[in-house]
Structure 1
Amino acid sequence: MKLNYKKSGSGPPLIILHGLFGSLDNWFSIAKELVEHYTLYLIDQRNHGDSPHADEWNYAVMAEDLKELLDAEGLDKVFLMGHSLGGKTVMNFAVKYPERVEKLIVADIAPRYYPVHHESILEGLNSLDLKKIQSRKEADDQLSKYIPELGVRQFLLKSLTRDSDGFAWKINLPVITKNIENVGEALAKDSTFDGPTLFLAGANSNYIQQKDLPDLAAHFPNYELEFVADAGHWLHAEQPHSVVEEMRKFLG
């Protein structure tokens, strides 16, 4: 699949993949601080942003999407970063194509299985009748019945766009809803990437825990773990400067 992406800057290639329900736009503020030293590729994963929609949606095909993009751009070896869903994608890519990854950064996700925990978000998104919604404010008001956190609603509504019939989701909501179990899938047993790997965790997030450390070491023996203070799961939005600082320190 030919993914949508935005390229900027100059220097060694650095690829960044967003998380579930997100898009490449989520990483603009990070990219702005790195363009002087890296060629940035911000990517929309399949069924997100402006990339194509498809019925098949799992980490195996998302890793192949990434390989197709690297091949098309003539990129033999890259710095690779992913957040949450994107973190699982880059982990799957790194263990399958280790020769293509110079260094790996995984933001706030571990290789283990995660049970489904997006039920209220999916229920809220699916409850909206987009043919009847007259404004983004109306969409937000309806979503608030399912999702009380304003910041989460604002993040989700970035994927709401206008079309000829009114409003539409950029995300492939039916396929994501049907295949949400795939998001929590664990990395394949005995798969490893020996290259330098940085796990960035939000200090206020519970996505990476003490119990995950043996798992990190088993799959990524050359790993480091850094906690970003005063940040939850969306650490790049909450503490962008700290995230950039950790990235620079690790990438060199």
Structure 2
Amino acid sequence: MLAITTYPATVPDPSLPDLLIAHGLFGSARNWSVIARHLADSRAVHVVDMRNHGQSPRAPSQSYPDMAGDLAEVIAALGAPMDVLGHSMGGKAAMQLALTEGDLVRKLVIADIAPVAYSHDQTQYIDAMRGLDLNGLTSRSEADRRLSATIPDPALRAFFLQSLDLKAQPPVWRLNLDVLEDQMPLIVGWPGTLGQFTGHTLFLTGALSHYVKPEYREAIRSLFPKSHFAKLPGAGHWLHAERPREFEQAVRVFLNGLSA
């Protein structure tokens, strides 16, 4: 089963189900620790490492049916139904789960992704991580300096370096880079899953992001007829990192508000 980090509710509200969070490509549960703690004010929050990421098992496939199956296993073990929040790759896995095993999901929050195939490729970041000189590396600041030669964006470097285990000798990436590279067409793609999830679904996007275009709304509504759309001003694809407090508030209002 996937590695799970659980944040117990501070003041439990028995009317609210637990929340499951699925991170995006190259991420981990660690990326969501602060947001998860804040959202655990009234419910337990469980954050997983997706397969081939973090402390979760390594597997030869990164397909969305397989990732959705992982999430279903977690929910079945911890207690269904749950609210589910997924970002990017994790959002597609969450959509696949809701479309195929909708009884496990009460409400769905999809952060900056749509149920469509994209033409972009993320293998340049795999090349950059593979190319990082790990010899004699002992500090994150030095890793950041070295990685800046291939990844100029400091925010992206900080994100990627959360998956670098500096305690190992030599340091290692907590990512199965070989499988992620091999499965990249599936990750940026979409399996064309049919059906409908009839629960309320929030598509929360960054106003500066181009991942959820207006022309995708017809496809979204055909699969998620109770869709709601919201944008975070000043945020891009990494909206939860760029505007964390606004992101938390939008998620909390949606999950705690509309009746199921």
TM-score normalised per structure 1: 0.93
**Equivalent residue number for residue 4 of structure 2:** 5
**Equivalent residue number for residue 143 of structure 2:** 139
- Report the 3-state secondary structure (helix = DSSP H, G, I; strand = E; otherwise coil) of the residue aligned with 2:32: helix
Q: Paired residue for 1:174, among 172, 178, 188?
A: 178
Q: Paired residue for 2:195, among 173, 183, 191?
A: 191
Shift, 1:117, TM fit: 2.4
- Cα distance in 2, alignment partners of residues 91 and 189 from structure 1: 9
Q: How does 1:107-122 map to 2 (within 5 A)?
A: 107-122=111-126
Q: How does 1:1-252 map to 2 (within 5 A)?
A: 2-8=1-7, 9=9, 10-11=12-13, 12-73=17-78, 75-131=79-135, 133=137, 135-252=139-256
The amino acid across from 2:148 in the alignment is: S
The amino acid across from 2:93 in the alignment is: T
- Cα distance in 2, alignment partners of residues 190 and 40 from structure 1: 29
C-alpha offsets along residues 80-100 of structure 1, whole Å, 9 cap, x if unaligned? 110001000100000000111
- Report the 3-state secondary structure (helix = DSSP H, G, I; strand = E; otherwise coil) of the residue aligned with 1:33: helix
- Cα distance in 1, alignment partners of residues 123 and 149 from structure 2: 13
Alignment check: 8 A CA contact 1:116 1:181 kept = no
Which structure 2 segments of 5+ residues have no match? none
1:70/1:190 CA distance change after superposition, 3 Å: closer
Alignment check: 8 A CA contact 2:138 2:166 kept = no
- Cα distance in 1, alignment partners of residues 62 and 194 from structure 2: 23
Alignment check: 8 A CA contact 1:31 1:40 kept = yes
Q: Which moved more, 1:181-190 or 1:39-48?
A: 181-190
- Cα distance in 2, alignment partners of residues 39 and 163 from structure 1: 30
Shift, 1:62, TM fit: 0.9
Q: Figure out how many residues of one structure are paired with residues of the other and give that number.
A: 250
- Report the 3-state secondary structure (helix = DSSP H, G, I; strand = E; otherwise coil) of the residue aligned with 1:99: helix
Identity of matched residues, %: 37
Which structure 1 segments of 5+ residues have no match? none
The amino acid across from 1:97 in the alignment is: E
Alignment check: 8 A CA contact 2:134 2:171 kept = yes
Shift, 1:133, TM fit: 4.2
Alignment check: 8 A CA contact 2:99 2:193 kept = no
The amino acid across from 2:228 in the alignment is: E
Shift, 1:46, TM fit: 0.7
Alignment check: 8 A CA contact 2:86 2:94 kept = yes
